[in-house]
Structure formats: C-alpha cells, structure tokens
C-alpha cells in the first residue's frame, strides 16, 4: 500500500469552481465601490471650488470664471470647469476620466447645471 499524499483532480476542480463563483459575486461589487469613490472625489472638488470661489469673491467682489485665477487644482483624474460666473453667482461641473457621471454645483445667479438640484450642494448624474 502506498500512502500517496495530495489532492485529487475532482477536489482541485471543486476549489476552482468555488473561486470562480466568489469572483463572479465580488467583481461587480468592486466596480460599484470604485464608481462611488469617483463620485465622492468629484463632489469634494466642487465643495473645495465653492470655498475658493468665496475667498476670491471676498477679495474681488465678483466670482472667477476660470480655475486658473483661483489657483485651483482638481484631484487626479478629475476635470472641473466653471460654466458661468459673474458678480452674483457661478456654476461649475466636474467629470472624471474613469466615470460616466457628471457632477454639478451652482451658487447665486449661476446657471444651474442639469445635475444640481439645490444651490451650493454638488449633485451627480
């Protein structure tokens, strides 16, 4: 009698099937978590832009129409664009290269982007 040690082919196949089932469940959930992170990053950039715009307004009594005047840098992968700005309000949108969502914010008389529902609150679609 030999005392061979190891796994049978059936045992290995069962393990591979179980790992495949777990991967099928985990990968879509991971994608959802990544999308939420991109959205949170865009919303954070828009909140930061709001703070910087208010600081600019306190110095110049108007809102800036470019992020260059504000010395504002968006997070990696994000693009923030000021869509309208004047002495009484502004609006902006944010996109991420890895997300199909677009976030928007407006303050005062700025033209509300389609995403923004409430003044001063970033929202995404």
Q: What percent of the chain has pLDDT over 70?
A: 98
Q: How far apart are CA 109 and CA 82, in angstroms?
A: 14
Predicted confidence at residue 5, as pLDDT, reads 83
Contact yes or no for 51/70 (Cβ under 8 A): no
Of 125, 88, 121, the C-alpha closest to 106 is 121
42: Cβ–Cβ under 8 A, 6 or more apart, which residues? Answer: 78, 94, 95, 96, 99, 101, 103, 122, 124
Confidence of residue 2 (pLDDT cuts 50, 70, 90): low
Work out the mean pLDDT of the chain and round it to a whole number: 94
Q: Which residues pair with 90 in a beta bridge?
A: 85, 107
Mean pLDDT of 81-104: 96
Q: Give the three-state DSSP class for 38.
A: helix
Domain edges within the chain: 9-124
Predicted confidence at residue 99, as pLDDT, reads 95
| Number of Cα atoms under 13 Å in the Cβ half of residue 9 | 0
Confidence of residue 7 (pLDDT cuts 50, 70, 90): confident
pLDDT value at 1 more than 70? no
Write out pLDDT tens, residues 42-91: 999 999 999 999 999 999 999 999 999 999 999 999 999 999 999 999 99
């Amino acid at each position: 009698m030999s005392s061979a040690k190891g796994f049978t082919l059936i045992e290995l196949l069962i393990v591979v099937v179980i790992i495949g089932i777990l991967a099928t469940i985990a990968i879509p959930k991971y994608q959802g978590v990544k999308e939420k992170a991109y959205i949170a990053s865009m919303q954070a950039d828009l909140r930061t832009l709001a703070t910087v715009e208010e600081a600019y307004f306190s110095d110049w009594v108007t809102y800036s129409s470019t992020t260059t005047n504000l010395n504002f840098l968006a997070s990696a992968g994000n693009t923030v664009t000021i869509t309208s700005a004047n002495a009484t309000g502004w609006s902006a949108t944010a996109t991420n290269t890895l997300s199909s969502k677009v976030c928007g914010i407006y303050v005062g008389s700025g033209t509300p982007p389609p995403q923004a529902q409430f003044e001063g609150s970033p929202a995404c679609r």
